[in-house]
Structure 1
Amino acid sequence: MYRVMIADDEGIVIDSMKFIIEKEFGDKCSLEFAKTGRRLIEVAEQFRPDIAVVDIHMPGINGIDAIKEMKQFCPNAVFIVMSAYDKFDYAKEAIKLGVLEYITKPMERMKVIDTLKRAMDQIDSERAKRSNELLIKEKLETIEPIIENGLIYDILLQEHFEEDVDSYKSILGIEDDYGYMMAIVCGETQEGNHMTNAVGSSVKVSGMYREIREGVKSFFDCKIGNVMANKIAVLVPYGSKVLEYNDRTELIDRARDMCRYLRKKTDINFRVGIGALHPLRDLGDSYREALNALIATTGTVAHVDDLTISCSYEEDYPKELEKPMFEAVSKGDLNGMLVYADKYADWMCQRAGSGDLMSMRLKALEFALYAEHIAYQSGGQTYHYSGRDTYLPEIMGMSTPTEVRDWFIAKLSNACSDVVSKREERSNDIIRTAMEYIKDNYSKEISLDDVSRQVNISPYYFSKIFKEESGLNFIEYLTNIRIDKAKELLSGTDMSIKEVCATCGYTDPNYFSRSFKKNVGVTPTEFKERG
């Protein structure tokens, strides 16, 4: 259905247009009429036409001015103007207004029909476009919560890679590199610093999650996770790495207003903990700060920067180097570790140059021990209680920053190397044990599961590292062992084909013969005859 409005001060023109439209388009059009510019505007406000055929010269407000007025409340309407005057100024003004067609009177019937069909096609196209946009919006509203929860889940559990965070930022339209986390905690009532009936409240909140999500987003431009126990994690992107005092105060007031709104909406009590600003990839730290802020106070809203529970650093301390440096150690990434360790060592040398060598010694010792602790955990090494009793005498015997720096870099480098070498050593031990087991038991009916059980790792992981280390999968390696033994027996003994088959672990002589020919190029019989 198309809503069509005709405006002309001549009744005969209106009657003619009505006759043409009804005859050509039948009940596809709903019609309204006006004989003045003012009446056109008044009727159009109620009728909201899809198509408006407007005469330029009407009493009072002319057609051009009426169209300008109508465009304010009918922005998607298609306008067709008509006039008894073929004047360039009118046509130019009509073009500026985006009018579809300028028709001169007397109007040709086919010209009118053709113009109306073009207008209807344009309306159909716009309607289809709008419908598609709504469909996309509907799908996004369904998918977006899942993607937001995936981002928060990855950040909290630190199961993401750098490219994962970049992908989430792109999909969710996050342009900021920093942010903070809020921990929204719900309960029946508040007793001290905790909420009562956490389980019951979490069930109730889960049933009202959509309303709560919309409520939180009305106060904060944020990304929201699912209900976890009686908690909801909220990520708020931020454009700076510093939160000014006034901004923090405004943030806390807004969080308090949000709690009151959610309480009224759900009849559930809420508290909100707010963590400090961090780079997006490190927002797991901000969430833990938000939870600790709630534990440390009994207020409805608690910001970690208002409390004394977080560690602060002197102004020039390179805190941002610590985490990536030790992450590189845990991965055995020597080059990555050296990038950060060199920068940190430069800072320590600068401070030691001012006469603070003892602090450099202690920090180098602290970080060396921590790097080795990570290596023990990440590399599967055996911890020796008395293995580092020389470290303190060594570090105290150094008299220059350069000596301490070299010792510091060496210890962190060794920790990286230990992670890699221990992992490789363990893989080599597993493969060596597996190969020995296969060589000792090839004559039996053994499977991948039998061998992986022997080395005490899952069949999937064993299969993966066996292929990486040997270049063959388990079946290929076992087959090579059996075929080599069969060739040895066939050429060096008087054993029959059947006896060789059984000795080499094959239960089916036909299968043995096919496997032998596939790997050697001839049958066992032909091989034996050739000596």
Structure 2
Amino acid sequence: MYRILLADDEGIMLESLKKIIETEYGNECEIHCAKSGRVVVEMAQAYPPDICFMDIQMPGISGIQAIREIQKFNSSAVFVIITAYDKFNYAKEAVNLGVQEFLTKPVNKKVILETCAKMMTKVDQIRQKRSDDLLIREKLETVVPMIESGYINNILLQDDFVTYQDNYTQLLDIRQKYGYMMVIEFGDSMENGVLSNAVGASVKANKFYSTFREIAQGFFECLVGPIMGNRIVLLVPYENAKEDYEDRVAIVTRARNMVHKFENRIDSMFRCGIGRVKELGSVKESFKEAVVALRESISHVVHIEDVPAAQKYDGEYPRDLEIRYQKRILEKDAAGAMNCAEGFFEWMHSQQAVTREDIEIKILEMVMNAERRAFFAGTLKYNVNSRRSYIRELQSCTDIENLKKWFLDKTREICTKLENSKEKEAGSIIDRAKEYINENFRRDISLDDVSREVDISPYYFSKLFKQETGKNFIEYLTEIRLKNARELLQDSRLSIKEICAQSGYSDPNYFSRIFKKYEGVTPSEFRERLG
């Protein structure tokens, strides 16, 4: 079936064209007619045509203008211009619009039918191309996720993944040289930042994976990795070598909206950790940072830059127990680290070939290694001479049990120092924020201004400020401003309007309402009470 639209202001011409086409093609064609440019555009919207026979000169909107309007909402229609000899100067503009044929009046039956057959062939070609494109797209939608999963698997699991990187970037048409990784965790519920039922969630993930992928790629131009336990990893190609503050805030905001949409569409809870921008050849480091960001925070969405005292950690050890020990240390999980330490110590003690001296050296190595990694992660401070007593302490241990106690005590001590360091860092951020507010409360400052000053995202700053001070940003700012106002009201030389301006308010009426809300009286009444 072909839908044909005939447009000509001459009724006889329209009837002739319609009769010729209907006689030749019968029910193969659905024909509609219009006598003006406006009507033909409206009809093309109501009955989108495959083929248009268009007279150039019509009342109101010309045929050329009508073609231009129709192409805005129907790019696949083919057009045939019908024109008189003296109107042929329109031809150049018509060619630019992609008109297929020009017919000059009077037009005989043979020419009309030949042109119609040619246009039908053109429509068939367009339909076939559309069908082929859809088929290719369907195949790509099956293949591309597999390639993306392969690329992300390669990044995370292969030491020499750079060898294959060019192949993947060409296949996936990745032109950027940089990128960052996001780790999405999911589970049935969340308590203290930990998602429950990871195993059950990973089984459920197979059902929602396609929806997850659709949502993620709606918010970020990203590659979506495979399901890995209760995690899915995203790789977001990025133009620049580093994201600035505004970009980082925008990324966190978008990620937060993405997580909300996940939870609205999918029956699970979600968390998202975001790493720094890296060269694609080093983007695995961004993955590690995203994992640390998740581990160091209880927020739904957290960027590694917004986590006090949380940095990447480097190096791997050949034994699982050693690896877990170092991880638990950096997680400030004292109980977990001590369990690993005790297990490793018992393993050493059970080996016949291992002497007491071997045990002393190994536990000293593990403790110093943990301190070194914590130091380079920026979460622990110590002086060069801070360990001079370690060897003496080990040698003074009278038996194996005392050696074990020394190892466990040191492990607990490191975790405690790390936890205190994290709290101190958070306190430092809030101290800087308070200092900025105290110095600038007279200006029109916002939460965004303060979070920019301390270099963390507004979302994270808002939560941290409330957590550390017990007040939200606006409450704290209002308290500072009103304290200043109360002090100024004791000076009778200043008007209420002047005090309002010097306290950070531009509207005296609003200032009075806020003052009364907190103080119970207006500024004028407060001054009168002072006498």
TM-score range, shorter chain: 0.5 to 0.7
Map of 2:107 onto structure 1: 107
How much does 1:165 deviate? 0.7
CA displacement, residues 57-109 of structure 1 (integer Å, 9 cap, x when unaligned): 33333323322322222222111122344443133443333322221222111
How much does 1:241 deviate? 2.1
| Alignment gaps of 5+ in structure 1 | 313-321, 327-384, 387-531
TM alignment of 1:186-201, pairs within 5 A: 186-201=186-201
Map of 1:288 onto structure 2: 288
How much does 1:305 deviate? 2.2
The sequence identity of aligned pairs, in percent, is: 44
Map of 1:151 onto structure 2: 151
Verify: 1:232 aligned to 2:232, yes or no. yes
Contact 1:186 1:230 in 2 (8 A): yes
Map of 2:424 onto structure 1: none
CA displacement, residues 372-427 of structure 1 (integer Å, 9 cap, x when unaligned): xxxxxxxxxxxxx99xxxxxxxxxxxxxxxxxxxxxxxxxxxxxxxxxxxxxxxxx
How much does 1:161 deviate? 4.1
Which secondary structure state, in structure 1, belongs to the residue aligned with residue 206 of structure 2?
A: helix
Whole-Å separation in 2 of the counterparts to 1:172 and 1:269: 30
Map of 1:27 onto structure 2: 27
Which secondary structure state, in structure 2, belongs to the residue aligned with residue 98 of structure 1?
A: coil
Map of 1:126 onto structure 2: 126
Whole-Å separation in 1 of the counterparts to 2:90 and 2:118: 21
Map of 1:309 onto structure 2: 310
Letter in 1 for 2:31: L
How much does 1:271 deviate? 0.9
Whole-Å separation in 2 of the counterparts to 1:11 and 1:278: 69
Letter in 2 for 1:32: H
How much does 1:127 deviate? 1.4
Which secondary structure state, in structure 1, belongs to the residue aligned with residue 38 of structure 2?
A: helix
Contact 1:199 1:230 in 2 (8 A): yes
Decide whether aligned partners of structure 1 residues 298 and 63 sit closer, same or farther in structure 2, where only a CA change above 3 A counts. closer
Map of 1:259 onto structure 2: 259
Verify: 1:221 aligned to 2:225, yes or no. no
Which secondary structure state, in structure 1, belongs to the residue aligned with residue 30 of structure 2?
A: strand
Verify: 1:54 aligned to 2:54, yes or no. yes
Which secondary structure state, in structure 2, belongs to the residue aligned with residue 72 of structure 1?
A: helix
CA displacement, residues 243-285 of structure 1 (integer Å, 9 cap, x when unaligned): 2222222222222222111111113111111122222232222
Decide whether aligned partners of structure 1 residues 189 and 139 sit closer, same or farther in structure 2, where only a CA change above 3 A counts. same
Which secondary structure state, in structure 1, belongs to the residue aligned with residue 270 of structure 2?
A: strand
Contact 1:158 1:284 in 2 (8 A): no
The number of aligned residues is 317
How much does 1:112 deviate? 1.0
Contact 1:37 1:66 in 2 (8 A): yes
Contact 1:94 1:102 in 2 (8 A): no
Contact 2:155 2:161 in 1 (8 A): no
Whole-Å separation in 1 of the counterparts to 2:157 and 2:14: 71
Letter in 1 for 2:310: I
CA displacement, residues 491-526 of structure 1 (integer Å, 9 cap, x when unaligned): xxxxxxxxxxxxxxxxxxxxxxxxxxxxxxxxxxxx
Contact 2:285 2:312 in 1 (8 A): no
Q: CA RMSD in A?
A: 2.4
How much does 1:188 deviate? 1.5
Whole-Å separation in 1 of the counterparts to 2:73 and 2:312: 57
Whole-Å separation in 2 of the counterparts to 1:164 and 1:116: 53
Decide whether aligned partners of structure 1 residues 296 and 140 sit closer, same or farther in structure 2, where only a CA change above 3 A counts. same
TM alignment of 1:124-523, pairs within 5 A: 124-307=124-307, 308-310=309-311
Letter in 1 for 2:255: A
Map of 2:380 onto structure 1: none
Letter in 2 for 1:188: D
Whole-Å separation in 2 of the counterparts to 1:251 and 1:301: 10
Contact 1:292 1:309 in 2 (8 A): yes
Whole-Å separation in 2 of the counterparts to 1:249 and 1:6: 55
CA displacement, residues 150-198 of structure 1 (integer Å, 9 cap, x when unaligned): 0010110125443411111111111122212111111122222321111
Map of 2:334 onto structure 1: none
Decide whether aligned partners of structure 1 residues 123 and 304 sit closer, same or farther in structure 2, where only a CA change above 3 A counts. same
Whole-Å separation in 2 of the counterparts to 1:235 and 1:56: 53
Map of 1:471 onto structure 2: none
CA displacement, residues 276-305 of structure 1 (integer Å, 9 cap, x when unaligned): 222223222222221122222211122222
Letter in 2 for 1:49: P
Letter in 2 for 1:69: E
Letter in 2 for 1:200: G
Whole-Å separation in 1 of the counterparts to 2:48 and 2:21: 18
Whole-Å separation in 2 of the counterparts to 1:183 and 1:35: 61
Decide whether aligned partners of structure 1 residues 121 and 226 sit closer, same or farther in structure 2, where only a CA change above 3 A counts. same
Whole-Å separation in 2 of the counterparts to 1:298 and 1:266: 21
Which secondary structure state, in structure 1, belongs to the residue aligned with residue 200 of structure 2?
A: helix
Map of 1:5 onto structure 2: 5
Whole-Å separation in 2 of the counterparts to 1:45 and 1:223: 38
After alignment, is 263-272 or 81-90 more displaced?
81-90
Which secondary structure state, in structure 2, belongs to the residue aligned with residue 61 of structure 1?
A: coil
Which secondary structure state, in structure 1, belongs to the residue aligned with residue 73 of structure 2?
A: coil
Decide whether aligned partners of structure 1 residues 60 and 216 sit closer, same or farther in structure 2, where only a CA change above 3 A counts. closer
How much does 1:224 deviate? 0.9
Contact 1:79 1:101 in 2 (8 A): yes
Which secondary structure state, in structure 2, belongs to the residue aligned with residue 33 of structure 1?
A: strand
Map of 1:354 onto structure 2: none
How much does 1:140 deviate? 0.8
Contact 1:186 1:271 in 2 (8 A): yes
CA displacement, residues 437-495 of structure 1 (integer Å, 9 cap, x when unaligned): xxxxxxxxxxxxxxxxxxxxxxxxxxxxxxxxxxxxxxxxxxxxxxxxxxxxxxxxxxx
How much does 1:46 deviate? 0.7
Whole-Å separation in 2 of the counterparts to 1:276 and 1:65: 52
What's the TM-score, normalizing by structure 2? Answer: 0.56
Whole-Å separation in 1 of the counterparts to 2:251 and 2:59: 58
Which secondary structure state, in structure 2, belongs to the residue aligned with residue 208 of structure 1?
A: helix
Map of 1:81 onto structure 2: 81
Letter in 2 for 1:79: F
How much does 1:33 deviate? 0.8
Whole-Å separation in 1 of the counterparts to 2:84 and 2:244: 67
Contact 1:222 1:236 in 2 (8 A): yes
Letter in 2 for 1:295: R
Decide whether aligned partners of structure 1 residues 23 and 197 sit closer, same or farther in structure 2, where only a CA change above 3 A counts. same
Contact 1:157 1:284 in 2 (8 A): no
Contact 2:178 2:278 in 1 (8 A): yes
Whole-Å separation in 2 of the counterparts to 1:286 and 1:68: 49
What's the TM-score, normalizing by structure 1? Answer: 0.56
| Alignment gaps of 5+ in structure 2 | 317-356, 359-531
Letter in 1 for 2:149: N
Letter in 2 for 1:309: A
Letter in 1 for 2:226: N
After alignment, is 153-162 or 119-128 more displaced?
153-162
Contact 2:185 2:230 in 1 (8 A): yes
Decide whether aligned partners of structure 1 residues 74 and 275 sit closer, same or farther in structure 2, where only a CA change above 3 A counts. closer
Whole-Å separation in 1 of the counterparts to 2:93 and 2:240: 48
Map of 1:90 onto structure 2: 90
Map of 2:410 onto structure 1: none
How much does 1:236 deviate? 1.3
Map of 1:352 onto structure 2: none
